[in-house]
Structure 1
């Protein structure tokens, strides 16, 4: 049996990945992971093509995650797609954000993603595709988004390095680096004011981001960046001094 595993499937990009992967010929089941079981059940009922299978799992709970991998080991499927989409961010001055929120970002955005990737790899074969959802925030240090941007820099560099390691095995790894996307993330990150003042063209739509990233993953690309604005930011971040980008983003977001 060939499966796609999608974490963070209860909303946003994860929800859209499940919908777009379900009709693919190489996917028999989509395994949906998130905490909100009722949302996952709704999504499973809406999938066209592959059957949706619900796993209500808190990825930051080692016991729950271990139970999921026991089920994976028991069934021994082939993972044709692994999409690590679960993650969150908080905008604001580092000192003003609760320490538990900071540690939660590190735990979910980094630790859980790393563990899931490593434990899933034995079930990947030649032709399998791993999609790690990073962010354009990972291109450069960002004031007032310090921990989130740092966590996504980890995801980006981890994915690119793993892409090189697994190339000989025929397994591709793609880092997805969107800018702001019209999902629940904006509300959770306290970015409503930023969204309200931003031009429409700077806010991407989830179906578009996912569609492009799936196409890029199929082409074996290491990184997928949606939109001219984010591509320009990625290019600039490679040449502009970090001191300047950190200062500029802190000032911009403060206002």
Structure 2
């Protein structure tokens, strides 16, 4: 590759990448905190940074997204630097491995495979992973994923293997079936004791079917629920503020009194 023949934009990108690698080398050599870190010690910090990036994306804050991408990028460079110190791998190995995987997994771009749509791309992707040694299409779903996200990924993987509903109404019928089973088994009207283990299993089936329907109509369940979480937090904090302005504690207010401020918050 001749650096001088590259566009100015690509030159600036490569210079910036070289700069962070140089800074990482210096920090690892000179900073007491950076020198102490291990791949294991960085793990929980990486998880935190990933969630911060997720928050910024949900908020649609591009300035914050840029900042959080930088924080995640730092961690990726950090891991690679630590591994290079034991000659395990370095950042070049990581990036070249990624490039080779992308080329191999996109034969419709870098080979002679023909595809008609996105679904065929996904099916080819899963088929190639099985040829690479995966015993199941579900092996690529991390065990530690939050359950809601995991349900969505499991269903997407199964769809990539051709195992899915054909029509939207079929998926909704499954939701209604699971809802009816839950309602009939655990009638909320009577006060009979509930078998918690059985109720939990049935409720899990209901949630899984709802995730399935959301996926079928292109709703990201994690994003949808997090937006509702944020909406509830905003309204509840308004309720707390209005109660404080009235010199009252929430614990001392009736539900009817709180509902006035809640409805007020919904109009904001």
TM-score after normalising by structure 1: 0.27
Say which structure is richer in helix. 2
Q: Which has the higher contact order (CA 8 A, sep 6+)?
A: 1
